[in-house]
Amino acid sequence: MAPQKGDFILINYTAKVKETSEVFDTTVEETAKKEHLQKEGEIYEPKLVVVGEGWVLKSLDDSLATMEPNTPGIVEISPEKAFGARDPEKVKQVHLKKLAEKGINPQLGMRIEYGGKNAIIRSVGAGRALLDFNPPLAGKTLVYDVIVSKKLETAEEKIGALIHRRIPVVEEGKFKFAITDKTLTIDMPEDTFYLEGVQIAKRGIVNDVQKFFPDLDETKFVDTFKAPPKPAMPEETKPAEVKPEAAVAEEKVAEEKPAEPAETKS
């Protein structure tokens, strides 16, 4: 059965530009390696989508509701429904001196921030650089090879996926949680204790839980710090026998007392 609005699903996809067949995004690690897209720290795995929530491009989101699970599909998205048409007014020439003042050594194809906006350097020459402030995929027709790999059914599956979505660098199975009296309690694994941005991630989890599980009144996060294991104790040795002071005194007197002469018979 095709997913319905509000369904939690996991999808795998590879996205490319129709005109050039250039792959620009994928959830598949092998594809990322093949297309030289792999980035350090990037997580390649099925992506969580709640149908109709706008977590992916709208045209792709709408198409998910027509796809049967585990059946590959192709979604083509026109520029107007993707990142819009290219705007020539967003292409500007900038003096190299101004870029140098900001510590930018312009190279063809480099992505930079200039004037508070992102741009791609399209050309460099004659003392100037041509900056394109259009989105990189503006004017492109996009093609998604996509498959719905799984539909999440239980509350436990959905909550686990929401947590993992916010903290993807930690394995989903390391998070333990329970629901008691309308309170969700999440035990945070040690991997998260000093993770950068973890407090922001927690706030995101709370917002997601409140939105998709309105019956829950409270979300608690528990950080448990365990003491390191104690070193093994050496095998106990039997203590030396300690004699009472009186016994020691008697032995001392006996040692100091001269021996009596042996009795002789007449």
Q: pLDDT of 50-80, one tens digit each? A: 999 999 999 999 999 999 999 999 999 999 9
pLDDT value of position 229: 84
pLDDT value of position 123: 94
- Work out the angle at residue 240's Cα, subtended by the Cα atoms of residues 234 and 246, and round it to the nearest 5 degrees: 155
The string of pLDDT tens digits covering residues 117-171 is 999 999 999 899 999 999 999 999 999 999 999 999 999 999 999 999 999 999 9
d(CA 107, CA 131): 11
pTM of structure:
0.78
Alpha-carbon 96 to chain mean position: 39
- Contact present, 198 and 192 (Cβ < 8 Å): yes
d(CA 77, CA 59): 7
d(CA 46, CA 44): 7
d(CA 122, CA 131): 6
- The pLDDT > 70 percentage for the chain reads 88
Lowest mean pLDDT among 37-41, 182-186, 252-256: 252-256
DSSP state of 208: H
Output the six-digit token pair for 198.
């973890």
- Closest Cα to residue 12, out of 54, 58, 64? 64
Pairing of strands 47-50, 218-223: unpaired
3-state class (DSSP) for residue 114: strand
Instruction: Give residue for tokens 């027709």.
Output: 141
- Cα dihedral across residues 113, 117, 118, 124: positive or negative: negative
Residue 247 has pLDDT above 70, yes or no: no
Residue 201 has pLDDT above 70, yes or no: yes
3-state class (DSSP) for residue 238: coil
pLDDT value of position 266: 45
The string of pLDDT tens digits covering residues 205-241 is 999 999 999 999 999 999 998 888 888 777 765 565 6
- Closest Cα to residue 165, out of 37, 24, 46? 46
d(CA 6, CA 146): 19
pLDDT value of position 231: 83
List domains and CATH numbers for the chain. Answer: 1-85+139-152 (3.10.50.40), 88-132 (2.40.10.330), 154-227 (3.30.70.2210)
Q: What are the angstrom distances between the C-alpha of 202 and each of 21, 63, 157, 180, 193?
A: 38, 31, 18, 19, 12
d(CA 163, CA 117): 32
d(CA 214, CA 195): 28
pLDDT value of position 248: 52
- Contact present, 195 and 167 (Cβ < 8 Å): yes
- Contact present, 24 and 17 (Cβ < 8 Å): yes
How many CB atoms are closer than 10 A to CB 95? 11
